[in-house]
Amino acid sequence: MNKNTKVEWEEKGKIGGAFTWMKFNKLGDLSAIGRIPDHNLVVTAGLGEITGLALSDVGGTAFDYLEVGTDATAASAGQSALVAAITDSGLARAAGTGTQQTVTVANDTLQLTYTWSSISASKTIREVGVFNAASAGTMLARAVINVSATSEDTLALTYRSTLTSS
Give 115-131 pLDDT, tens digit per residue: 999 999 999 999 999 99
DSSP string of 71-101?
A: --PPP-TT--S-SSB--STT-S-EE-EEEEE
What amino acid is encoded at 36 in this protein?
I
Q: Provide CB contacts within 8 A for 90, sequence distance 6+.
A: 116, 117, 118, 119, 120, 121
Q: Would you state the pLDDT for residue 162?
A: 85
Whole-model pTM?
0.89
pLDDT (tens place) for every residue of the chain, 166 residues total:
455 666 665 666 667 789 999 999 999 999 999 998 766 788 999 989 998 998 989 999 999 999 999 999 999 999 999 999 999 999 999 999 999 999 989 999 999 999 999 999 999 999 999 999 999 999 999 999 999 999 999 999 999 998 877 6
Q: Would you state the pLDDT for residue 91?
A: 98
Decide: 48 and 30 in contact? Cβ < 8 Å: no
Q: Provide CB contacts within 8 A for 83, sequence distance 6+.
A: 69, 71, 73, 127
Decide: 67 and 112 in contact? Cβ < 8 Å: no
Q: Provide CB contacts within 8 A for 21, sequence distance 6+.
A: 32, 33, 34, 35, 125, 128, 145, 147, 155, 156, 157, 158
Mapped onto helix, strand or coil, the DSSP state of residue 17 is coil
Interstrand relation of 139-149 and 14-15 (parallel, antiparallel or unpaired): unpaired
In the chain, % helix, strand, coil (3-state, to 5) comes to 5, 45, 50
Q: Would you state the pLDDT for residue 38?
A: 64
Q: State the DSSP code for 12.
A: -
